[in-house]
Amino acid sequence: MTNSVHTNISAAIALQNLTRTNDRLGEVQGRISTGLKVQGAKDNAAIWAIAQGQRADVGALSAVKQSLDRATSIADVALSAGESVSDLLNQLKEKVVAAKDPSLKTQSRQLLDADFKALLKAIATQVSNAEFDGGNLLNGSLTSGIKFLANGDATSFITLSSKNLSLGGAIVELTLSDSLLSLTGATQALTRLDDSITQLNGALGAIGAEAKQIQAHNTFVTKLIDTLDSGIGNLVDADLAKESARLQALQVQQQLGAQSLSIANQAPQIILSLFRGG
C-alpha cells in the first residue's frame, strides 16, 4: 500500500464502515423509539401500503361500531320505556277488573277512574320521553324506523323498527276518553286493555330481537377491528427483543469503528519517522 500524506485509504475505509454502522444504529434506535419496523413508505413501500389500507378499513369499521353503539342505546331506551308501559298496563288491569264489580258505589268508581286516567297519562309520558340522541322508536314519529351502518363500505344497514305506543294507536288501544264510571265502560276498557297487552308484548319482542341482532353484529365488528389491528401489528411492529440485541451489537461496532478510524488517522505520522536523522 502506498504511504501518502494526501490519501489515507485506511482512514477512508474506516470512515465508510463507521458511517454505515451509525446509519444502521440510527435505524435501530428509530425502531425502538417508535416500536415500528416500517415507519414510512421508504422503509418498505409494499408493506407500508398494505398497512395503510388496513388502517383505513379499521377507521371505517370504527365508524360502523359507533353507529351500532348508538343503535344499541336507542334500542335499550325504547325497551326500558316499553317495559315500563307494560308494567303500567298490568296496573291498569287491576283497576279495570275492579271496576267490573257491579256492587261498586259511585265514589269508588270515580276513584278507580281517576287512577285509571292517571296511569294512562303516565303511559303517554313514558312514550314521549323514550328518546336517545333524537331517536324515539315509540311515539310514532319514525314511521320507517332508523337505519344504522352495518359494514365499512356503507352499503349495508341494520334497521330498528319503530312501534307506535301512543294512546289510541294500533298497539295501545286505550285512550283518555275511556271511562270506568260505568259497568259498560269498564267492560269496553277491559277488552281494549287485553288487546293492548297482547300487542305490546309482541312489539317489545320484535324490538328485543332486533336489539339482539345489533348486539351480535356489534360484537362481530369489534372482533374484526381487533383482528385487523393485530394484522397491522404483524406487518409493521418491531420485535423489540431483537432490536435490543442489535442495538448492543451496533454500539460495540460503533466504538470499534471509531477506534479503527483513530488508528488509521495516525498512519501518516509514520511517514515522519522516515525523515528523522539516524
Over residues 238-255, the pLDDT tens digits come to: 878 887 888 788 788 888
Domain count, the chain: 2
pLDDT tier at 42 (50, 70, 90 boundaries)? confident
Asked whether the beta carbons of 31 and 239 are under 8 A apart, the reply is no
Domain match, 197 and 269 both: no
Q: What's the CA dihedral at 30, 31, 32, 35 to 10 degrees?
A: 130
- pLDDT of 205 reads 96
End-to-end CA distance of the chain: 25
Does 50 map to a domain? no
Does 45 map to a domain? no
- pLDDT of 2 reads 63
Domain match, 115 and 252 both: no
The answer to whether residue 278 scores a pLDDT higher than 60 is no
pLDDT tier at 261 (50, 70, 90 boundaries)? confident
Domain match, 105 and 209 both: yes
**Which range of residues forms the domain containing residue 224?**
63-236
Domain match, 183 and 268 both: no
Does 4 map to a domain? no
% of the chain surpassing 90 pLDDT: 65
Domain match, 176 and 130 both: yes
Closest CA to 265 of 4, 1, 10, 19: 10
Asked whether the beta carbons of 217 and 67 are under 8 A apart, the reply is no
The answer to whether residue 114 scores a pLDDT higher than 90 is yes
CATH number of the domain encompassing residue 187: 1.20.1330.10
**What is the H or E stretch that residue 70 is in?**
helix 45-99
Asked whether the beta carbons of 267 and 49 are under 8 A apart, the reply is no
Name the grid cell of 43.
422503509
The answer to whether residue 126 scores a pLDDT higher than 80 is yes
pLDDT tier at 177 (50, 70, 90 boundaries)? very high
Domain match, 25 and 136 both: no
Q: What is residue 146's three-state secondary structure?
A: strand
Supply the DSSP string of 147-214, one letter for each residue: EEE-STTS--EEEEPP----TTSSS----TT---SSHHHHHHHHHHHHHHHHHHHHHHHHHHHHHHHH
pLDDT in tens, 185-218: 999 999 999 999 999 999 999 999 999 999 999 9
Rounded-to-integer distance, Cα 191 and Cα 196, Å: 9
The answer to whether residue 269 scores a pLDDT higher than 80 is no
Domain match, 186 and 257 both: no
Lowest-confidence segment of 47-61, 216-230, 244-258 by average pLDDT = 244-258
Domain match, 26 and 87 both: no
State the pTM of this model: 0.78
- Residues 33, 36, 41: CA angle, nearest 5 degrees: 120
Domain match, 74 and 104 both: yes
Domain match, 197 and 248 both: no
Does 3 map to a domain? no
Does 183 map to a domain? yes
pLDDT tier at 276 (50, 70, 90 boundaries)? low
Domain match, 164 and 249 both: no
Domain match, 220 and 129 both: yes
More confident residue, 30 or 44: 44
Does 48 map to a domain? no
Rounded-to-integer distance, Cα 13 and Cα 4, Å: 15
Rounded-to-integer distance, Cα 163 and Cα 192, Å: 18
The answer to whether residue 46 scores a pLDDT higher than 90 is yes
The answer to whether residue 1 scores a pLDDT higher than 70 is no
